[in-house]
Structure 1
């Protein structure tokens, strides 16, 4: 069970991720909707350097065109990407072709009512994983909404996906075990459910999220 903590903005956040035992840290670069979680490429590069060797830095971006996204890669030297901007298959192909062999692409889709948007058949040749997230119908916000979605539909997507599936959307230490039991994803990802009131990562919440996720997975596979 891979655990990612998203929205890392400061050195204190980095240390919260390290202490939690998480496997990946999300750095938001390339803003479209209003959010306090986004940081400059230079900040992302500095924070990525602080992560320990077994924690993967992930650039999370809402930009869509390959040129802008690859510019972020160049400025940060981070080659694992999580795409939330609705990039077309052609743009994702360009990104895939330009990344080094060690680079990875996670493509985010949004579970809306009883559907996954967009359909991913044209994307599968170029992506390494799918992230299932929620969509705020009121604000148009994608990612970091604090809202869960239909986990039964997510479980169906996991069963039929040719690539690993990461579950996101409203996850926190209290519901992650239930979510894993229903969906059985490759990994889980949380942002808003792990924050302090000032927007920083809460060290205890990050630790509990990671521990509860890994414990739930171990109990499930050993049952």
Structure 2
């Protein structure tokens, strides 16, 4: 049972996430699509160094080429990477060969609003990925992640049962719906971003409620 808060941009948000009880925090570095949540590698490194023990920093990136990602790892010293840019199976295999098992690789699957809509197929990534993150795809904008929209949770539940890797649920999660999401999908972890920032900055009360409600739902399903 794990909870991640994504798109940490400054020390205030970092402190808010840690105080809320997050197990992991995401730093968006390496941008290829429009987003206001991205920060420079140097800032991600500085923020990650401030984390207390047992809170994991996660490097969330749009980059796909192994050499580019290696440079980010060297600049940030963050050893968990969330591949949010549509990496191919070949690129993920190349990353695994580059890093071995010193780095954890999380492959993002784009789950649609209709049943059985998921891209890419998870089977081709299982051998090279340590986990999957199931996130929403908004067909109206083409945006993946940070959409504030939920997807078809029944679809995600089928993926969780089918794959042999831990599955992290994301996409439009908030304090009001996370318990139902956990009961429906039964993921390894949950991840939230935009719903915790109604005014742009991470809200302490909303972040704390999200973590508490998620953990309570995890405990009741065990």
TM tier, smaller = over 0.9
Structure having greater relative contact order (Cα 8 Å, sep ≥ 6): 1
CA drift at 1:120: 2.0
TM-score, scaled relative to structure 1: 0.96
Quick one: distance in 1 between partners of 2:206 and 2:100? 34
Report SS of the residue matched to 2:123. Answer: coil
Q: Deviations over 1:97-126 (max 9, x none)?
A: 222534201100111222210112221111
Asked if residue 136 in structure 1 is aligned to residue 138 in structure 2, the reply is yes
Gap regions ≥5 residues in structure 2 = none
Partner deviation per Cα, 1:153-202 (whole Å, 9 max, x = no partner) = 111111111101000000011110010010000000000011141x2211
Match of 2:210 in 1: 209
* SS of alignment partner, residue 82 of structure 1: strand
* CA displacement 1:127-178 (0-9 Å, x = unmatched): 0100000011122111111010000111111111110100000001111001
SS of the equivalent of 1:54 reads coil
Partner of 2:187: 185
Alignment correspondent of 1:31? 31
Q: Is the 8 A contact 1:79 1:99 kept in 2?
A: no
Which 5+ residue runs of structure 1 have no aligned equivalent? none
SS in structure 2 of the partner of residue 68 of structure 1? helix
- 8 Å CA contact 1:60–1:82 kept in 2: the answer is yes
Matching residue of 1:220: 221
How far apart in 2 are the matches of 1:54 and 1:196?
28
Matches of 2:183 and 2:73, distance apart in 1? 35
Q: TM-score, normalised by structure 2?
A: 0.96
Aligned-partner Cα distance in 1 for 2:198–2:8? 12
- Secondary structure class of the residue paired with 1:174: coil
Kept in 1, the 8 Å contact 2:136–2:144? The answer is yes
2: CA distance, partners of 1:193 / 1:207: 12
Counterparts of 2:184 and 2:198 in 1: how far apart (Å)? 28
Q: Is 1:79–1:100's contact at 8 Å kept on the other side of the alignment?
A: no
